[in-house]
Chains A and B, each alone.
Chain A
Amino acid sequence: MASLHRRPLFVVSALAVPLLTLAAPGLLRIGGVPPSWAVLWLLPWALADGPLSGALAGLALGLLLDCLHLGGATQMPALALLGWWWGRLPRRGPPIERSFSLGLLAMLGSTLLGLSVLLQRQAGAGWAVLLTAANLHTLLAQVLVTALLAPMICSLLLLLWRRHSASARG
């Protein structure tokens, strides 16, 4: 199973995450809020490649994204945790290629990521402004658009990567 990281082309595909974050295509937004591209890439990667590779990919993505953004808030711990959790999922339960569970996982993941960023950003500004309407709007819109895009993007990537690892094994 854990063979995706040996293919340089698949590893390089992670570069799409910072590029899409910078480009922020206007069509794929809800209320001006773009989806969390890191979650959309990390979810199929971790599901196809296992917990250790998922956590490392989360760390690497966090490093990339942190240097793109203002201020000291970091996404590394949340992304590493998500990669590790999603990597452990296929071993326990039934297979989860279904669109609904992919959307649900992406929703939980982007909620966790958004909350971690929100807590870090507001810790400096003071706790009184933690739940302003603007922050709530950003959080909800990002969770919504990520969960809507996940069945489309994640299932395609997952199909591609599962097929590759199956052919590598067999």
Chain B
Amino acid sequence: MPFGRLSRVPWLRPVVGAWPWALVAAVLVAVRLSKGALLSDAYALLSRPFWPGSAQKEWLQAAQQLDQQTRLSQLELDNRRLRRLLDLQRASPGKVTAPVISRETGDWWHQLVLGAGGLQGIRAGDSVIAPGGLIGRVASVTPSTARVALLTDSASKVGVWVGRTQRQGLLAGVGSSRPVLLFLEKDPQVRPGDVVVTSPASTLVPPGLSVGVIQSVDEKAVPATLAVVQLSAPVASVDWVQVLTRQGPAAAGS
């Protein structure tokens, strides 16, 4: 046995006894020679439970959303400027924020009463928007209140536009929480999920306000196709709304 015989040499005995240190030194040399490959692999294995997870994803999504919002506001500004150049929208609407002080959404009448009125510049016929889109139009005004006829009221009718297929329709309330979209032609080629916005040809409401999403389509209805629309604004729980005031008829004509 050469190893046993070597260990019997007196001056070699500490060198042979230090073989674990030789192993450590060899590993360190290997790490050095491989530029730390072993080390980073071991670190990756150990730190796997702490790798970046959902939090960072949320930051990225928030940044993306911010980017999209800035681009949207930029495009809106562009759009307004171009429309003004084309003289399509004569009076740019002012916005009056108003609290909802009475809400009757389940009765025969679907109406809101707002805590702002003629003194704040609201006129009958102004459009009312909530977070989510258009909810109705002002029906009558007192000096400090305004009564809003919701889109779900059975007397409400507004011209709308399905952007994907570029079709016009008439949004009519039926007294339930979901108004009905009446199309003018037999085959409008819409399907559930299509987004409904206010019509670019409408003179009653500003163009391009989002209204809702088509929920179901009845193609066998007479005289033309009929669709049920889910409003995108939560009408039954909205507390503050914005009224898009128009300038008076004299100012608009100039």
Contact = CB atoms under 8 A, between A and B. Distances in A.
A29 B106 contact: yes
Contacts of A71: 109, 155
B176 interface: yes
A138 interface: yes
B108 A73 contact: yes
Given A129-B174, A132-B174, A138 B102 contact: no
B102 A24 contact: yes
A133 B111 CA distance: 20
A134 B103 CA distance: 18
Contacts of A31: 106
Nearest to A69: B109
A9 interface: no
Contact of B155 (A24, A117, A118, A121): A121
Interface string B93-132: 0000000011111111101010000000000000000000
Interface in B164-210: 174-177
Nearest to A117: B108
B175 A132 contact: yes
B113 A138 contact: no
**For B104, B106, B107, B147, which residue has the most chain A Cβ atoms within 10 angstroms?**
B107
A22 B113 contact: yes
B153 A70 contact: yes
A165 interface: no
Given A70-B149, A132-B174, A134-B176, A125 B155 contact: yes
B109 A24 contact: no
Given A70-B149, A70-B155, A129-B174, A32 B108 contact: no
Contacts of A129: 154, 174
Given A33-B107, A34-B104, A138 B155 contact: no
Contacts of A32: 105-106, 177, 236
A48 to B, nearest CB: 27
Contacts of B154: 121-122, 125, 129
A137 interface: yes
A114 B108 contact: yes
A13 to B, nearest CB: 20
A135 interface: yes
Given A32-B236, A132-B175, A138-B175, A70 B109 contact: yes
A78 B108 CA distance: 15
B162 interface: no
Interface string A117-151: 11001101100010011110110011000000000
A166 interface: no
Contacts of B111: 69-70
Nearest to A132: B174
Contacts of B149: 70
B158 interface: no
A137 B155 contact: no
Contacts of B104: 21-22, 24, 34
A144 B149 CA distance: 26
Given A24-B102, A125-B155, A34 B107 contact: yes
Given A22-B101, A134-B175, 18 more contacts: A21-B104, A22-B102, A24-B104, A29-B106, A31-B106, A33-B106, A34-B107, A69-B111, A117-B108, A121-B155, A122-B154, A124-B155, A125-B155, A134-B174, A135-B175, A137-B176, A138-B106, A138-B108
Interface of B: 101-109, 111, 113, 139, 147, 149, 153-155, 174-177, 236
The 5 closest A-B pairs by CB, nearest first: A134-B176, A32-B106, A33-B106, A134-B175, A22-B102
27 contacts: A22-B104, A24-B102, A32-B105, A32-B236, A33-B106, A34-B104, A34-B106, A69-B109, A70-B111, A70-B139, A70-B153, A70-B155, A71-B155, A114-B108, A118-B108, A121-B108, A121-B154, A121-B155, A122-B154, A125-B154, A129-B174, A132-B174, A133-B176, A134-B174, A134-B176, A137-B176, A138-B108
